[in-house]
Structure 1
């Protein structure tokens, strides 16, 4: 067997360091969340236990952790559904050239390069000037869409850019209407991409801090609640909360990936059955 070049080991070491840089902080928080009852916020650990996870489910002296979690989950679902629907509609609209399409495209993605805190400030000011109440479900919802929609639209533009229009033509040749073609042909084909857009929408909303800071009103979302806890919570309960929210994010990602995998298996099985039938 031919020996590996020295560059292989150098690049491997660099990759390991890169992975540690990405996940090291998360792993550190996860480890510290298992501190004993007398543990603090830093190493060395003082025992190992599940005490701080139990504390997390007790009545907290400060904050509203579970209320913030429910608000973040609800807001994430709202943003997810809206992002998917608008992204599909935008992707369909941009399949054909129209006057001002290029300008509209660049205006759509401009919000990605504007500092998030300025977007939050602008949305909050607009709601105040119009006499509307600043609330996580209204102004917070709008500010987060400025973050998720450009990602969703970019994904759908890429999907429709390589979409084979012959499938639609075949459906129309069989007498399908435009709506039937969209529902029974286009959407099933792009379904895995729609799940990806939904995942982007939910996770980006669930973790968003800066764009929600000045638009959530008097009720915090979970990222805002965690930020507030960093100033007045001096026990590893905050690490336990961070570990659970990270686990929740991974579970959501796993569920979406499982759905995509199941759809791929089903499509392959249907294709195999159709081939056998021929």
Structure 2
């Protein structure tokens, strides 16, 4: 067996430290959230229980985690559906060159370059002047779409650029109209990719802080609620919330992964 060089072990140790740096804080939060009722924010742990996980669903001294989570969930689902719809329509349009396509492309991705604070501030002021900022999700939708749509749009361009149009041509030769061709041919072929776009845009919206901070008004989403409670909640309930939201994110990824595997298997049959 060939002996590994010393550089291999040095790089392996460096990679191990890198992984520990990435996941060490998350593991620490998980551990501290599983303390007993007398637990504190630091080590050593005081007992073991699920007490603080249950406290997340109770009214806090300042704010409420449950209401903030519901807002983030509803906003994330709406952003996901809108981003998928807009990106699919844009991807279909950009399969062929048309007048002004270059300008539209650069305008679409420009919001990824402009500082998010300026984007959210401009959206907040615009919605306030127009009198549309009556609910927490109106300007929130506008702010989050400037963040999620460009990513979804770029992904859909890549999907359609490697899409084989011969299937569509065969469907049209058999008499199918454009809508039937898309629904029965194109959509099933890109559906697995849409799952990835959906989980990405949902996550971007669910975790977004900067763009939400200037447009949410008095109704906080979950990231804003957590930030506001860091100076008020001095118990492991804050860590328990981090544990639950992380498990929720992993659950979403797992559902999307198994759905992708199932759809891919169905398409191969």
Whether the TM-score (by the shorter chain) exceeds 0.5 is yes
Q: Aligned-pair RMSD on alpha carbons?
A: 1.3
Counterpart for residue 219 of structure 1: 219
The offset of 1:134, in angstroms, is 5.2
Counterpart for residue 274 of structure 1: none
Work out the CA distance in 2 between the residues paired with 1:191 and 1:112: 26
Matched residue SS, 1:107: helix
**CA offset digits 1:186-209 (Å, max 9, x no partner):** 111111111111111111111111
The offset of 1:185, in angstroms, is 0.7
The offset of 1:251, in angstroms, is 0.4
Matched residue SS, 2:2: coil
Work out the CA distance in 2 between the residues paired with 1:181 and 1:11: 52
Work out the CA distance in 1 between the residues paired with 2:165 and 2:156: 15
The offset of 1:69, in angstroms, is 0.8
Counterpart for residue 254 of structure 2: 254
Work out the CA distance in 1 between the residues paired with 2:156 and 2:121: 29
Counterpart for residue 231 of structure 1: 231
CA contact (8 A) 2:38 2:46 kept: yes
Counterpart for residue 88 of structure 1: 88
Counterpart for residue 147 of structure 1: 147
How many residues are aligned here?
A: 269
Indicate whether 1:180 and 2:185 are aligned: no
Work out the CA distance in 2 between the residues paired with 1:160 and 1:260: 18
Work out the CA distance in 2 between the residues paired with 1:170 and 1:7: 56
Work out the CA distance in 1 between the residues paired with 2:172 and 2:4: 57
CA contact (8 A) 2:132 2:138 kept: no
Task: Return the TM-score normalized by structure 1.
Answer: 0.93
The offset of 1:261, in angstroms, is 0.6
Query: 5+ residue gaps in structure 1?
Result: 271-278
Work out the CA distance in 2 between the residues paired with 1:11 and 1:94: 44
Query: 5+ residue gaps in structure 2?
Result: none
Counterpart for residue 54 of structure 2: 54
CA contact (8 A) 1:134 1:215 kept: no
The offset of 1:247, in angstroms, is 0.5
The offset of 1:13, in angstroms, is 1.9
Work out the CA distance in 2 between the residues paired with 1:246 and 1:115: 27
